[in-house]
Amino acid sequence: MVTDRNQGTGMPRIGVLALQGDVEAHAWALREAGAEPVPVRLPAHLDGLAGLVIPGGESTTLLKLAARDGLLDPLRRFAGTRPVFGTCAGCILLARRVRHPEQDSLGVLDATVERNAYGRQNDSAILETPTALPGGPLEAVYIRAPRIAGIGPGVEVLAERDGDPVLVRQGRILAATFHPELSSDRRVHRLFRDMAAAGTGAERAA
Ligand code: GLN
């Protein structure tokens, strides 16, 4: 079967895991970045997608809902071969090691992530964040954000908060501890759109 990941629009079709969390904001951001968002609620919805966004929300709830709907293994397989972008709870789901407390994950990002790491007083904040992305500092919206406490050698840091990575890339995997979909700056979604359009590893998935 021929799968046209652009379906004639010239825009990569990028899934947004639509179980819980800020799905609409990501869909909007993807449209603005030149991609076609596709809601993903069932394993079949992953077919033919150029990439997938796992939004923020509550990672424990996301895991439970994904398990209930038979999505955990399909998500693991997808993330093993295709571009995936996780924000906040999505970043927690991608990390290989999760602390505070420990929990299951898709395990595709070589990182240790600590949930709810900033304490009650600082748990939500909007900060100007220096970034390696061209175009100057990024506005970063943090909502009960996790902290990336450690990364493996293959992980590239694209932005930091107080010396901790907050935007990282490992090959086809992109993860942010903040919510770029809640700012008007589309650089992070454009980067992911380009990763998906480049089809990193997509050729291997049937
Ligand atoms: N604190 C949430 C969790 O641990 C993540 C918060 C978010 O996605 N905004 O899953």
pLDDT at residue 9 in the model = 66
Ligand 1 geometric centre to CA of 32 (Å): 24
Dihedrals φ, ψ of 109, to 5°? -110, 125
Nearest atom (ligand 1) to Cα of 58: 10
Ligand 1 geometric centre to CA of 141 (Å): 12
pLDDT at residue 202 in the model = 43
Query: Is the pLDDT assigned to residue 204 strictly greater than 80?
Result: no
pLDDT at residue 200 in the model = 56
Catalytic positions, please? 88, 179, 181
Question: d(Cα 127, Cα 182) in Å, to the nearest integer?
Answer: 13
Confidence of residue 2 (pLDDT cuts 50, 70, 90): very low
Pocket test for ligand 1, best of 16, 123, 143 (most atoms within 8 A of CB): 143
Residue nearest to atom 2 of ligand 1 (CA): 58
Residue nearest to atom 8 of ligand 1 (CA): 56
Tens of pLDDT, residue by residue over 11-65, are 999 999 999 988 999 999 999 999 999 999 999 999 999 999 999 999 999 999 9
Decide if 143 contacts 124 (C-beta within 8 A). Answer: yes
pLDDT at residue 4 in the model = 54
Question: d(Cα 94, Cα 4) in Å, to the nearest integer?
Answer: 26
Ligand 1 binding site (Cβ under 6 Å of any ligand atom)? 56-59, 88-89, 92, 115-116, 143-144
Nearest atom (ligand 1) to Cα of 87: 8
Residues found in the chain: 206
Beta strands in the chain (DSSP E): 13-17, 36-40, 51-54, 84-87, 95-99, 109-114, 124-129, 138-143, 147-151, 156-161, 164-170, 173-176
Ligand 1 geometric centre to CA of 144 (Å): 6
Paired residues of 14 in beta bridges:
37, 51
Pocket test for ligand 1, best of 20, 53, 91, 92 (most atoms within 8 A of CB): 92
Ligand 1 geometric centre to CA of 182 (Å): 15
Question: d(Cα 6, Cα 12) in Å, to the nearest integer?
Answer: 5
Nearest atom (ligand 1) to Cα of 55: 8
pLDDT at residue 118 in the model = 81
Tens of pLDDT, residue by residue over 113-165, are 999 888 766 678 999 999 999 999 999 999 999 999 999 999 999 999 999 99
CA 149 vs. chain centroid, Å, equals 17
Q: What is the pTM of this model?
A: 0.93
pLDDT at residue 126 in the model = 94
DSSP string, 73-97: HHHHHHHHHS-EEEETHHHHHHEEE
Ligand 1 geometric centre to CA of 98 (Å): 12
